[in-house]
Structure 1
Amino acid sequence: MTVAADFPQPLAEEPVPSVAELPASYPDSWIFVHDFHGNSLIDARGVIVDVAADNNNVRGQIPISHFGSITPSPTRSEIYVGETFYSRQTRGERTDVITVWDTKTLTPKGEIVLPGGKRGQFVTLVNSLQLTNNDKWAMIFNFTPGSSVTVVDLDSRAVVSEVDLPGCSLIYPTGARGFASLCADGTMTSIALDAQGKPGATVTSEAFNDIDSDPLFMTPAMVGRTGWFVSFKGNLRAIDFSGEAAKVLGSFPIPAQSGGTPEWRPGGWQVISADRAGLLYVLMNPKGGEGSHKDGGTEAWVIDPVAKTLVRRITLKNHSISVEATQQAKPLLVASRPDGSLDVYDAVTGAFVRTVASVAHTPITMTAVRR
């Protein structure tokens, strides 16, 4: 016969709701994973993941609607999401906004309505939403297909200007307050913003981006204020964004990469990253060729851009589509897989560390916590 003493003591009553808070400043082992959610574009999300933890890796997430973009600001303890809503979910009146999220509570603090229904909607790219002026202004890329950038004051939550960008795309912050953009003719145009956020001087570089035969991937790895871009055929190009106008620096090929069988080329969506020490990590595909630039890769090649040498090759356990290095003193390399899981490696030795399973449906881009 069963008696009451045979049963375990009941668990303590749990308060409802029970909500944990995150730190206002995230650790260097955390990354933002943008789940594009290809099967349901209105239900994308930004997932906050601690890739150094042995368990409980997912620390929180926020929703992102309709081809959105996400940019965190550690100085303001806020996360900014550019997104689009329709009054009938998939149709009806369109509203573009920048939604402001609190980093501790992951609750919305407000939203800034963007005029004109022109925010660029495409598979997410990090440089479609950027910050400038000590994170006081947000800049969001528009595409109708006419291209422009809307500048938003994050203190007043108001639009301050719109800058036309005929023939140019995306946003690369320059100087104290300004931005550059890659252009279809192979040049880069830099636009200074005055104290009120209005466009000022414009400087256009000489052509350097070989659009027809070896174009650059448009998401760079940032080392300080230097952006390192990699081309489809494996050439690395540095651009200095520290001044008011972007300064195009030299380029060099990834060592021991081109030609031969197999032909190794960069491939994937976010194909290049950098750690705190300035080493570059490039996702490489052994089946390189015309049209292979989005295929993902099976190795990450670690390159010292100062010495122009290949430091090591990290063999990935699984085919991957994006890479991101954490900004720890001993960095981790995170490789996102088409199945939505993340593989984590010791970036110094190349050793496999762990898999964080089923983080996302379509983990297109990742953003490491930076100071």
Structure 2
Amino acid sequence: MRRAASRIAIAMTIAALHVAAPAIAADYPQPLPEEPVPAVAVLPEKYPESWVFVHDLHFNSLPDGRVAVVDVAAENRNVKGQIPAAQFGNVLPATTRPEILVGETFFSRLTRGERTDVITIWDAKTLSPKGEIVLPGGKRGLFVTLKNSLQFTNNEKWALVFNFTPGSSVTVVDLDARKVLSDIDLPGCSLVYPTGPRGFTSLCADGTMTSIALDAAGRAGPTVTSKVFNDIDKDALFMSPAMVGRTAWFASFTGNIRGIDFSGAAARDLGMFEIAKPAGGDPEWRPGGWQVITADKAGLLYVLMNPHGKEGSHKDGGTEAWVIDPVKKALVRRIALKNHSVSIEATQQASPLLVASKPDGSLDVYDAATGAFQRTIVGVVHDPMTMTAAR
């Protein structure tokens, strides 16, 4: 009888499982359809203005630096693609053709051996390499990325590469012919700011700036050195400006804004004005971070501000973005950031977004007009030092 009872119990259990199976299956996600392998997406030739290039130096593994292409307006699937940028790389998206330039360095044994510096040219649609220009001398500047270490001139036909050995110089590269045109010594000066139709300016350690026009062969032509305008000992400038047309707006360590006009053959200093400092700083409000100033399409400036500003706080990041009208020389509004941030970038939409990168690698996105928080984008990069909005 016990055996019969056991058989009846087992039969009833099996029957119950058959009845419950459809209900249990309905509670779980159904399998996704099979995807073809390989499956490769193609990006648009011209990127939407809500897309941002987020440069990840990847300090924990510098040979594995990268640049993520991120749609900061999207609710999900924000990351559209990624390209490598090895060993303190530099990224420079073109606007006249669907290409992305990356200045990078390789060693034959990954971290040692023969050094090779290159400009890699990436196809913006497929994110695949389409060309490479070898830079001679092993002297491309290797330091935490600054946008003005790689720039265009001559209507994006040439690239300017800043070198640092620690002797400073600039290599002029013909992008169409895929060859180096010249090397120009820059004793005591740093970085490159495209100037005039075919030339560049560099900021110098004595507080001046030197503008060099280039001839049709890419060689150094007339050179103009300005008067001293940058008081480096008392109020140095952050060297990455916000560009509005051909005017660069630089923030200073103590909270001043200086304009420089790069439209002519020689750079022209437009003077400095002070950002009004409301009460509440401890000890005072100052710009702080890595990429501390950016501009939207309408020409408004956004400055990353730190309430604990003092001598030596210029890399500490900030908790607010102050919106400045450089024409009126006035503080328009203040955007309270949800999190402490190290860099900011404004998108180039008619209604811009403000992107703030956090030390943990995530991005906070705000409505630049209202300051309203939109979203946090996580898992994009490790060390988002600089960002470049698509144009």
TM-score where L is the length of structure 2? 0.92
CA distance in 1, matches of 2:147, 2:30: 51
Equivalence map 1:165-314=2 (5 Å):
165-256=186-277, 261-314=282-335
Residue number in structure 1 paired with 2:8: none
CA distance in 2, matches of 1:166, 1:307: 37
CA distance in 1, matches of 2:30, 2:196: 63
CA distance in 2, matches of 1:246, 1:98: 27
Match of 2:123 among 102, 125, 132: 102
State yes or no: 1:358 paired with 2:379.
yes
1:16 Cα offset (Å)? 1.3
2:232 alignment partner, SS class: coil
Calculate percent identity across the aligned residue pairs: 75
Cα distance change, pair 356–259 in 1 and its aligned pair in 2 (3 A) = closer
1:359 Cα offset (Å)? 1.3
CA distance in 2, matches of 1:11, 1:355: 27
State yes or no: 1:81 paired with 2:81.
no
Name the aligned partner's letter for residue 232 of structure 1: F
CA distance in 2, matches of 1:293, 1:37: 22
8 A Cα contact 2:318 2:342, kept in partner? yes
8 A Cα contact 1:174 1:244, kept in partner? yes
Q: CA-to-partner distance for each residue in 1:198-253, whole Å, 9 max, x for gaps?
A: 11000000011111111000000001100000100001000000001100111100
8 A Cα contact 2:281 2:307, kept in partner? no
Cα distance change, pair 110–310 in 1 and its aligned pair in 2 (3 A) = same
Cα distance change, pair 9–82 in 1 and its aligned pair in 2 (3 A) = closer
Larger of the two Rg values belongs to structure: 2
1:260 Cα offset (Å)? 6.2
8 A Cα contact 1:32 1:368, kept in partner? yes
1:139 Cα offset (Å)? 0.6
Which runs of no fewer than 5 residues in structure 2 stay unpaired?
Answer: 1-13
CA distance in 1, matches of 2:47, 2:332: 30
Name the aligned partner's letter for residue 80 of structure 1: L
Name the aligned partner's letter for residue 46 of structure 2: S
8 A Cα contact 1:31 1:326, kept in partner? yes
Name the aligned partner's letter for residue 351 of structure 1: A
CA distance in 1, matches of 2:203, 2:280: 28
Residue number in structure 2 paired with 1:334: 355
8 A Cα contact 2:148 2:240, kept in partner? yes
Q: RMSD in angstroms over aligned alpha carbons?
A: 1.7
State yes or no: 1:61 paired with 2:87.
no
Residue number in structure 2 paired with 1:112: 133
2:148 alignment partner, SS class: helix
Cα distance change, pair 94–252 in 1 and its aligned pair in 2 (3 A) = same
Moved more, 301-310 or 255-264: 255-264
CA distance in 2, matches of 1:13, 1:299: 47
CA distance in 2, matches of 1:348, 1:76: 31
Residue number in structure 2 paired with 1:72: 93
Match of 2:72 among 38, 42, 51: 51
